Amino acid sequence: MTDRRSYRSKQLTQFIGLIACLLSGPVWAHDPIFGIGPHVLFKGGVEIAPDMHVEEAGDESATETGLEITYGLTGDWAVGIELPYVNKEAGPVSASGRGDIKVFTKYRFWRNDTLGAQESAAVLLKVKLDTANGNANPALGTGTTDTILGLTYGYEGRKWYRWASVRYRLNGTNDAGLQRGEKVLFDLVGGIRFRPTGYLEADTVWLLELNGEYGDRADLNGINVANTGGTEWFVSPGIFWTKRNFAIKAGVQIPIVSNLNGAQNESDVRVNLTLEWHL
């Protein structure tokens, strides 16, 4: 009799765990649109994500379309590559072609699961390679190899989401002796799911991000470049729609504070659209 009760108790525990997993299924696959989050793939998982990013600032604009491929080495460690194609316009001059390839890795070093919610934190390393078409005017790449380090925290629940992250970008020096200023990026993000859904249902999360960018002045052969660097802040509404292993992320960055050094075009708007498949 005791063994039978123990067996039933074990079955009930497994059943509750399964239901909790199914009910919270859509929760685990979300990250911010413009910031970074701690989400990683399951071991052996593949994420294929075509995306488009548009920036406009004064008479300059840039549209980058690309493909991001990510692979889950373990349940906490992922690696990936970004393959961009860029179109730039500066006044009457335009150019298009291959952009700078980026390779990256993300490691989730902390995770705390509760019923219907998860907290986690991760570190990010991304390297932008010097691979763009080099003879375009305006330039499609920077002519440098740059390194980005990031730290991110996230809370994902059945209704509420929150993320915080900071990134530091160290830029290399090009052949002309120009080193673009180092950059620090801050992100605070909140999200809400107005109607909780099951794993098999379409799921919508609305996001609101606060994104800040601080850049040092560029350096040309040991001399500061006047019209470079400064601070910009953006408020960024967005949406994250998922259906099982497919997702659509879309958002708009709207500038609210701009304090750039010298004569620079202030950002007018930025738009991001990403499609994601988990295989």
pLDDT tens for residues 79-90?
999 999 999 999
Amino acid type, 50? P
Tens of pLDDT along 1-53? 445 445 444 444 443 343 333 333 333 458 999 999 999 999 999 999 999 99
Q: Give mean pLDDT, residues 132-156.
A: 89
Sheet of 219-220, strand order = 178-179, 219-220, 223-224
Tens of pLDDT along 202-233? 999 999 999 999 999 999 999 999 999 999 99
Which one-letter DSSP state was computed for residue 176?
T
CATH number at residue 57: 2.40.160.40
Domain count, the chain: 1
Q: Please tell me whether the overall predicted TM-score, pTM, comes out greater than 0.85 for this model.
A: yes
Q: Which domain holds residue 111?
A: 2-278
Amino acid type, 32? P
Tens of pLDDT along 151-195? 999 999 999 999 999 999 999 999 999 999 999 999 999 999 999
pLDDT of residue 29: 53
What gap in Å lies between CA 86 and CA 148, rounded to an integer?
Answer: 20
